[in-house]
């Protein structure tokens, strides 16, 4: 009887330990994504994310790190439309473009604001639009779509034959913005 109880206890220990290790691996393997849905505020697509940062730095030091990151990331970037620094508010505003590859080659334009304070960093992405070259060459100018026309839940529900195309654009947009949020979180 005594050995039977020891075996039973050992089995429970092994099962509990295995579940603990499996849970630990799952938790370590997860990557938090800042943006998983498309938020519409007053009819406009708006992405907002608060990024907690180290409390060991003052807000001035955090702003200095933010400025250094922006200069390093965007200096010499031909897709950069503009960058503005506001020392008093500890905010930077960047108007940028990036090339998306899926489902087709297009240029996404967007504007984002990043502000820092003692609590952390606030990222706000807005004014998103997409430029797609006309495939039939009917026009020299690219076709321009707003985020509200392509990536919102409402536009996906009414997409018809363009549903897969819109889902792919939405997926790549969220991926791009999550990468931006991860880069910001890494600088502090």
Confidence of residue 27 (pLDDT cuts 50, 70, 90): very low
Q: How far apart are CA 184 and CA 178, in angstroms?
A: 10
167 and 74 in one domain? yes
Asked if 123 and 182 sit in the same domain, the reply is yes
Question: Widest CA span of the chain, in angstroms?
Answer: 87
Closest to 175 (Cα-Cα) out of 58, 62, 78, 35: 35
Amino acid 24: pLDDT: 56
CB atoms closer than 10 angstroms to residue 96: 19
Given a cut of 50, whether residue 30 has pLDDT beyond it is no
Shared-domain flag, residues 69 and 144: yes
What is the tally of structural domains in the chain? 2
Query: Over the stretch 98-156, which tens digit does the pLDDT of each residue have?
Result: 999 877 789 999 999 999 998 899 999 999 999 987 766 666 788 899 999 999 999 99
Q: Six-digit token pair at 163?
A: 């549903």
Residue 38: what pLDDT? 95
Show the domain range for 13.
1-30
Domain of 68: which CATH number?
A: 3.30.530.80
- Output phi, psi for 134, to 5 deg: -70, 120
């Amino acid at each position: 009887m005594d050995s039977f109880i020891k075996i039973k206890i050992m089995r429970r220990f092994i099962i509990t330990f295995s579940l603990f290790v499996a849970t630990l691996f799952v938790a370590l393997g997860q990557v938090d994504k800042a943006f998983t849905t498309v938020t519409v505020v007053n009819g406009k697509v708006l992405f907002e994310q608060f990024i907690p940062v180290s409390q060991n730095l003052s807000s001035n030091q955090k702003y200095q790190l933010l400025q250094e990151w922006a200069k390093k990331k965007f200096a010499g970037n031909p897709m950069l439309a503009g960058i503005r620094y506001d020392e008093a508010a500890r905010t930077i505003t960047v108007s940028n473009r990036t090339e998306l590859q899926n489902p087709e080659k297009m240029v996404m334009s967007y504007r984002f604001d990043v502000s820092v304070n003692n609590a952390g960093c606030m990222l706000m992405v807005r004014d998103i639009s997409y430029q797609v070259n006309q495939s039939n060459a009917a026009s020299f100018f690219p076709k321009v779509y707003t985020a509200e026309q392509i990536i919102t839940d409402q536009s996906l529900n009414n997409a018809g034959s363009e549903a897969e195309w819109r889902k792919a654009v939405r997926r790549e947009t969220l991926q791009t913005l999550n990468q931006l949020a991860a880069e910001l979180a890494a600088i502090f």
